[in-house]
Amino acid sequence: AEERAALVKIHDNGPGLTPETRKKLFSPFYTTKPDGMGMGLSICRSILTAHGGSISASSEPGAGTTFEFTIPLKQGTG
């Protein structure tokens, strides 16, 4: 009841991200997919930021990637 934000963590067991990919991951039009547009994570970051939240990614080569985002919880109206 006293929490101010929801925290969501999603972890995969893929190959992880290279340091170069991690730097560009949330940039508009950056993609690692052959037919990707590179907009998804950039849009996610914009939406979360506009609502007072944040998003980040951490990765270990060969040990997967963890995406983590926070979004403030709505204050009660009485």
Q: What is d(CA 59, CA 20) in angstroms, rounded to the nearest whole number?
A: 12
| C-alpha span between 7 and 53 (Å, rounded) | 9
pLDDT tens by residue, 4-31 = 899 999 999 999 988 888 899 999 998 8
Q: Is 61's pLDDT higher than 90?
A: no
> What does the DSSP 8-state code read for residue 70?
E
**Domain 5-72 coded CATH 3.30.565.10:** yes
What are 26-42's pLDDT values in tens digits? Answer: 999 988 888 989 899 99
